[in-house]
Chain A
């Protein structure tokens, strides 16, 4: 069965600093990977996705992620964070056994300090 691990429960970053959120996955085939963001009391918004091809994918709001098969990782990065980036971030993997369910990690809460 597939699984996703987000090792960092909470990260604090200064505004303007760079950001990297870690995601490791376990899956027997080529994974379909996603990053979602959730603001307090809100639903999930898709930041970016990886299906195949170029291992560096660009998303919305200036985020990017790099797929590394050898490390089973799909880390999210942003060169310079803004106060509005404070939120919960979820990495997810899609199973394609006919019902396309998403399996999520436990999330990383991002706090931005001035």
Chain B
């Protein structure tokens, strides 16, 4: 059974640029959630995708957007990067039959300069 994987591991971007982060969910999982973890903070919920549709969103602006593909992998896109977007971005997958258990990937560390 393959766990949740994320790519890339680290990324450095310049303010104003756009970035795409990728997540492959655990085998058998059809739900993906994205979280932002700023340094020294707990993860904050960005949004969730279920069967390719957005299924809930946290308090993040529209420049944070996502996609889920038929194989349930997912992308997080951030436009017009700001310095405060520097954080660890975590992806978590779950199966709706037991959606209460979310399995996290190792994260992508994004640095905006």
Contacts and interface: CB of A to CB of B under 8 A. Distances in A.
A96 B100 CA distance: 8
Interface residues of B, number: 28
B81 to A, nearest CB: 22
Contacts of A94: 100
A9 to B, nearest CB: 9
Interface size class of A (residues with CB under 8 A): 20 to 34
Interface in B57-113: 58, 90, 92, 94, 99-107, 109
B27 interface: no
B100 A101 contact: no
A49 B41 contact: no
A99 B42 contact: no
Given A99-B55, A99-B56, A106-B41, A43 B48 contact: no
Contact of B42 (A43, A97, A106): A106
Identify the interface centre among B41, B42, B94, B102: most chain A CB within 10 Å of its CB: B42
B1 to A, nearest CB: 15
B33 interface: yes
20 contacts: A44-B43, A44-B90, A46-B101, A46-B103, A49-B100, A90-B42, A90-B43, A94-B100, A99-B56, A100-B33, A100-B48, A100-B94, A100-B100, A102-B45, A102-B102, A104-B42, A104-B44, A106-B42, A107-B41, A107-B42
Interface of A: 4, 32, 36, 41-46, 49, 51, 90, 92, 94, 96-107
